[in-house]
Structure formats: C-alpha cells, structure tokens
Amino acid sequence: MTDRDVFEYALLRVVPRVERGECFNAGVVVYCRARSFVAARTHLDETKLAALDPHADVTGVRAALHAVEGVCTGGEAAGQAAGDDAGRRFRWLIAPRSTVVQPGPVHTGLTTDPEAEVERLLALLVR
C-alpha cells in the first residue's frame, strides 16, 4: 500500500457583487502539511463573470487570482508572506474576506500526490 498524506483544500470563489451573494468557483488552493506543500490553480470563466456582473473588473479579478497563486509559490511573488512557511501561507489565503475573490470552506482528503490533487480538483470543481 502506498503512503497517503492528509491534505486540505479550499475553493476560490468569485463574488462580483458581494451584496447579491452570487458566486462561482474560479480556483483551488491545496495544502499538505506532511510535504510542506501549498499550491493554487485558477481558471476565470469570463462568461460567468459577465453574466453575474456585466461591469465587473475582469483585469482586477484576474490579478487577485494571480496573487493567490503567487502567495503559494513563495519568494518575491508572495509579497509580505514570502518568509512564511507553506502552512502559514495557506491559512492566510483561506481567511474570510469580503472581497470579490473569496475562499470557501476548507475540506480534507488523502493523497499520494498533492500536485495531482490541485489539477484534479481544478478540473472537477472549477472547469
């Protein structure tokens, strides 16, 4: 039997007009403590965004999603979180916010390959 590690994940939701509460999934953040792994993948469906808010700032939403990926990557792309370990970066990213890009609840699972989980969850829950 192959060793499997616990991982946590949260969906990234786009909420173009917070006061309306409408949203759609646009990314996923995966964290695996045992492997000091954190990664995010995003996919913005501009058709869904325009349907919920024809005046939405597409460039701003893309920038916010890209920033999440940067925090996961670490280094200069992580900004103030650059010196934090993978777990702290994940916890910072999943903290509730009232912005256009919001994290959903955290879920858990078991995996032998956290990187593959990121791609699998993106395909299953976002695309």
**Residue stretches of the chain with pLDDT short of 70:** 1-2
Q: How far is CA 76 from CA 14, 35, 45, 73, 82, in A?
A: 25, 22, 28, 9, 6
Residue 102 near residue 24 (C-beta atoms within 8 A):
no
The pLDDT value recorded for residue 19 is: 86
Instruction: State pTM to two decimals.
Output: 0.90
The pLDDT value recorded for residue 76 is: 76
The pLDDT value recorded for residue 2 is: 67
The pLDDT value recorded for residue 84 is: 84
